[in-house]
Amino acid sequence: MKQRMITANRLSDGACVWLSGDGNWTTDIVQGKYVPEAESDALLNQAAAGIAKCLIVGPYAIDVTVDGSEVVPVRFREQIRAKGPTIPLPA
């Protein structure tokens, strides 16, 4: 069964974030909430509160596979977003 979670970018610093089970936003994909594909619209509607509070921008649903405690995005683009920048950040 396909699982989905909601990702967005945090407005304060542009970091990739995922909607967690408690309705907050986390930078750790493992702490994000995943649901069956049929329930992802409800999560996306929940993400609208983050937009209204000016916490996040551009939320959307992504497909993930879950194996035990490991959550892996299906698309390569989302795998990169989950692991962080591919170049060193300036100090």
Q: What would the pLDDT profile of 23-43 be if each residue is shown by its tens digit?
A: 999 999 999 999 999 999 999
Token digits for 24? 């907050």
Residue 50 covered by a domain = yes
Report if residue 59 sits inside a domain.
yes
Task: Tell me whether residue 41 is in a domain.
Answer: yes
In a domain, 12, yes or no: yes
Of 10, 4, 3, give the one whose Cα is nearest residue 58: 10
Asked if 46 contacts 40 with a C-beta cutoff of 8 angstroms, the reply is no
Per-residue pLDDT, 23: 93
* Structural domain that includes position 74: 3-83
Q: What residues pair up with 3 in beta bridges, in sequence order?
A: 36, 64
Is residue 60 within a helix (H) or strand (E), and if so which, with residue range? strand 56-67
Q: Does the residue 91 lie in any domain?
A: no
What's the structural domain count of the chain? Answer: 1
CA distance 72 to 67: 8
The proportion of the chain whose per-residue pLDDT surpasses 90, expressed as a percent, equals 82
